[in-house]
Amino acid sequence: MEGNSKGKVFLDDKDKPSMAMLWNTFDGFYVALSEHASPEKVKTYIERILERNRSSLAELSQFVIYTDLAKSDSFAKKMIPSNTFEKRWVKQFQQIGVVRHEIAIPDGYKYMSVAQLITGDDHYIHTGEIIDGIAQTWASVTAFLRRGFGACLVHDARKEVASYCFTEHVSTLGAELSVETYTAYQRLGLGNLVGMAALEMCAQRKLAANWYCLSDNAGSIALATKLGMSEVLTFPVWFFSYPSVSHG
């Protein structure tokens, strides 16, 4: 977050906190708690954040809390500022280093780094959407260009991005990857190609590659497995709606 990832940190006490919470300024709350922490206090913090940012979050229908894995479900439920919530499961995949693959670019497509795409003079369809995606997790596009990276395949004749993979977060040890293939280009293996290229980029930087997806996202799990990544963790998250935000 020091000029890289977007977010704000909240503590219940500056010197001896029992609660530390990171809000990604969008839809996610990440909570770490001591054994003496109050879940009701967390709930109050989240309510205040949502109320103060009601106008900028009005289009969101759901929010999510990532919490201490050691806490019970009954404890976690007391943090949720809503009667409408759902417990779901997230899988984490990781790869340290990279298994070498032959990356053969299909006819009609061109490989580009994400940095080349967003700074180049040529305009490709979907570039703006990718920049918007970067802006959701990075402090700025400049911050992404400084520490982030990614790969994309563009359809040369149509001047259109077909598939891309970029880092949502980068730390000193690892990187979190996000992959998207546009509907017209799905089931062609393009996501696998940009994923392999991004894994190569992680290996070159000596960063562990991380991939997160919901446990019922069969397509994402299949792609992570195809890329040779290993499942290292499954953990619960809590999705909830907040009427004063989602309904204006």
The tokens describing 210, both together, are 């991380």
Helix (H) or strand (E) holding 246: helix 243-246
Task: Tell whether the model's pLDDT for residue 247 goes beyond 60.
Answer: no
- Cα–Cα distance between 243 and 238 in angstroms, integer? 16
Pair 78, 158 in one domain? no
Task: Tell whether the model's pLDDT for residue 99 goes beyond 70.
Answer: no
Task: Tell whether the model's pLDDT for residue 3 goes beyond 80.
Answer: no
Tell whether 95 is covered by a domain.
no
**Can you give the pTM of this predicted structure?**
0.88
The tokens describing 187, both together, are 């089931």
- Cα–Cα distance between 208 and 233 in angstroms, integer? 15
Which domain CATH number covers 139?
A: 3.40.630.30
Pair 69, 145 in one domain? no
- Cα–Cα distance between 172 and 203 in angstroms, integer? 13
Pair 113, 215 in one domain? yes
Tell whether 94 is covered by a domain.
no
Pair 144, 56 in one domain? no
Task: Tell whether the model's pLDDT for residue 80 goes beyond 90.
Answer: yes
What range defines the domain where residue 195 resides? 100-227
Pair 184, 82 in one domain? no
| Cβ partners under 8 Å of residue 140, min gap 6 | none
> How many independent structural domains does the chain possess?
2
**What's the gap between Cα 189 and its chain centre?**
22
Sheet holding 208-214, edge to edge: 8-11, 19-23, 28-33, 63-66, 230-240, 85-95, 208-214, 174-181, 160-170, 150-155, 109-113
Pair 74, 188 in one domain? no
Q: What is the mean pLDDT of residues 63-73?
A: 90
Instruction: Tell me what pLDDT residue 240 has.
Output: 96
Tell whether 178 is covered by a domain.
yes
Q: What is the mean pLDDT of residues 217-241?
A: 95
Pair 45, 150 in one domain? no
Pair 119, 55 in one domain? no
